[in-house]
Amino acid sequence: MTAHTVTSFDEDLKELNAIVLDMGVRAARSVEFAAFALQNRDVRVAQQIISADKAIDDLQHDLEQKAIVTIARRQPVADDLRQIIAALRIANDLERIGDLAKNLAKRSLAILQEGTPVVGLAGLAKLSDRVRVQLDEVLAALKAHDDKAALAVWRSDHEIDALHTSLFRELLTYMMEDPRNIGSCAHLLFCAKNLERIGDHATNIAETVHYVVTGEVLALDRPRADQSSAFATDMRLPAWKG
């Protein structure tokens, strides 16, 4: 490629990276404020998070269009093509994180509409805090192209799984002790699963950062510690007594 073509392609890559980082900031904020809305029973914030998801979706669409045009014009190979493919993969994970944050906000509204006492929020706050740290760390690794930091995120995914399993057990216990807790706890179970899935997407991003930096795909299985499915099989909920 000529010097002009190389410069133009570098600008294309910068634009793609800028869109990805913008999506990352928006997705992280959505997760933070969705958790805030749930903890503080804030209807206004929950509604804002639901509305804000469209901006993340629009950014993903813009990135996809930009990537297609860049591939068609520049016909990149090797490292250059890897960067474009990585941007598409990361954007997909960030879009899903935005969707999961929106689901958290919707659950918050559902809980508020029921108007019943909510138990288990302390455990959910601990899980959401850990997920937010995971997300912040992987976005920092992405911005700095830091493979070491990305691998640290990848290796710590089991911590989120363990917190999710612990909260799952806690919420099922509350449901067994008092059937009046079933409604709100059911919503919180979905919230906990959404947070656990956000952690998974953060780990996906870490894997992609490793791929961009090294050109290699992680061959190892991801460390996992989520036993909620096995635990649920052994639990029996009490019969409803209306």
> What CATH code is carried by the domain that includes residue 152?
1.20.58.220
Arithmetic mean of pLDDT over the chain: 89
- Give the sign of the dihedral formed by CA 76, CA 79, CA 83, CA 88: positive
The pLDDT of 113-127, averaged and rounded, is 86
In a domain, 17, yes or no: yes
In a domain, 37, yes or no: yes
Give the model's pLDDT for residue 2.
53
CA distance 145 to 123: 33
Is the pLDDT confidence value at 241 over 70?
no
In a domain, 226, yes or no: yes
Give the model's pLDDT for residue 175.
92
- Give the residue numbers spanning the domain of 129: 3-233
Residues 6 or more apart from 6 whose CB is under 8 A from it? none
Q: How many CB atoms within 10 Å of residue 76?
A: 18
The pLDDT of 50-69, averaged and rounded, is 97
For the CA atoms of the chain, what is the radius of gyration? Answer: 20
Give the model's pLDDT for residue 242.
43
In a domain, 83, yes or no: yes
In a domain, 241, yes or no: no
pLDDT tens column, 154-178: 999 999 999 999 999 999 999 999 9
Give the model's pLDDT for residue 115.
74
Q: Which residue, chain included where needed, has tokens 């813009």?
A: 62
In a domain, 73, yes or no: yes
Give the model's pLDDT for residue 10.
87
Is the pLDDT confidence value at 240 over 70?
no
Give yes or no for a contact between 52 and 105, defined as CB atoms under 8 angstroms apart. Answer: no
The pLDDT of 130-154, averaged and rounded, is 97
Give the model's pLDDT for residue 141.
97
The pLDDT of 22-44, averaged and rounded, is 95
Give the model's pLDDT for residue 229.
56
pLDDT tens column, 217-236: 887 776 666 666 555 555 55
Is the pLDDT confidence value at 4 over 90?
no
Q: What's the total number of domains in the chain?
A: 1
pLDDT tens column, 183-218: 889 999 999 999 999 999 999 999 999 999 999 988
Percent helix, strand, coil in the chain, to 5, is 85, 0, 15
pLDDT band, very low/low/confident/very high, at 8 (cuts 50, 70, 90): confident
pLDDT tens column, 74-110: 888 788 899 999 999 999 999 999 999 999 999 999 9
Name the residue among 94, 99, 92 with its Cα closest to residue 24: 94
